[in-house]
Amino acid sequence: MTTAFPRHLHGGVQYLEFLGRFAPACGARSYFEIGVNIGKSLRRIDLPSIGVDPKFMFREDIMSAKPELHLFQTTSDDFFQTRSLKAFFPEGVDLAFLDGMHLFEFLLRDFINTEKAMGSDGVIFMHDCLPLNAEMTERERRPGQRRDVELKSYWTGDVWKLVPILQRYRPDLEVTLIDCAPTGLVMLRKLDPASQILSASYDEIMEQWMEVEMTDASLEDFYKGLPMSAASEVLSQVGA
Ligand SMILES: C[S@@+](CC[C@H](N)C(=O)[O-])C[C@H]1O[C@@H](n2cnc3c(N)ncnc32)[C@H](O)[C@@H]1O
């Protein structure tokens, strides 16, 4: 596909297939998902699971072969204020997929709150942090005003900011950027449920990043500085 607009395409395993293969291979015993929508990702994971979304729109057999599934039709912020993941999974969550509201302040809070409930050796995946072009990172979704009309249905919002934010504030994390189609996955390991750094820096991060916008030029810079991992290699590392 040729285009007059700069694009950064990801050619790795599609993210749903990736998650569906990673989950059974990585030894996880529990799964937590923020942003369920019609259930395309949740249905692929046959672990004891919790899903959170303010508006479920199921069209799929989301139960599949899960032994248990707990659904909360509410925002992730409300979920974390009123519920405890540890009440369901006392040993902590092994695998989490954060795919709720695509604005960086929401994903940052989702990460902070989820990390607190992760088990040892837990893995968090974040979706949509590796945009294909600059305009899909707009904070307000406006498909009718996009120049690159072939990609107008993709909206990543500005969750890409989590990558530089975690690099700056949490160098202790192991951050792997995976070339999953279409908009990448970020894998986070060496989690520290006791870490307070992001909560303590939240206001400073908001002040520094809220007005930052990605441009065609800064998209190039973003990818220049990032080592990407092939999805197939990450899968083979866990024997999937
Ligand atoms: C991109 S969809 C999720 C797609 C799904 N994970 C998949 O892979 O097919 C994003 C979902 O996030 C939900 N969402 C929006 N705001 C949210 C919030 N504050 N907390 C949790 N989920 C939210 C939306 O209702 C929507 O269903």
What DSSP designation does 126 have?
Answer: E
The one-letter amino acid code at 37 reads: N
- 76 CA from centroid of ligand 1 (Å): 9
Mutation choice for ligand 1 from 82, 101, 129, CB with most ligand atoms inside 8 A: 101
- 27 pLDDT higher than 80: yes
What is the pLDDT confidence band of residue 115, given thresholds at 50, 70 and 90?
very high
72 domain-assigned: yes
- 1 pLDDT higher than 60: no
Give the count of alpha carbons within 13 A of 153, CB side only: 2
- 101 pLDDT higher than 90: yes
Per-residue pLDDT, 6: 83
Ligand 1 atom nearest the C-alpha of 16 is 8
Per-residue pLDDT, 191: 98
What is the pLDDT confidence band of residue 114, given thresholds at 50, 70 and 90?
very high
- Host domain of residue 217: 12-237
CA dist 59 and 200 (Å) reads: 40
Q: What is the mean pLDDT of the chain?
A: 96
- 140 CA from centroid of ligand 1 (Å): 15
- 4 pLDDT higher than 80: no
Ligand 1 within 6 A of CB of 40: yes
Q: Helix, strand, or coil here: 199?
A: helix
3 domain-assigned: no
5 domain-assigned: no
Nearest CA to ligand 1 atom 9: 40
CA dist 130 and 194 (Å) reads: 27
Mutation choice for ligand 1 from 53, 71, 74, CB with most ligand atoms inside 8 A: 53
**Bond prior to 182 in cis (omega within 30° of 0):** yes
125 domain-assigned: yes
CATH assignment at residue 66? 3.40.50.150
44 domain-assigned: yes
103 domain-assigned: yes
Per the structure block, which two tokens stand in for 35? 């942003």
1 domain-assigned: no
What is the pLDDT confidence band of residue 3, given thresholds at 50, 70 and 90?
low
What mean pLDDT is predicted for residues 43-67?
96
What is the pLDDT confidence band of residue 225, given thresholds at 50, 70 and 90?
confident
Ligand 1 atom nearest the C-alpha of 53 is 22
Number of domains in the chain: 1
Ligand 1 within 6 A of CB of 76: yes
64 domain-assigned: yes
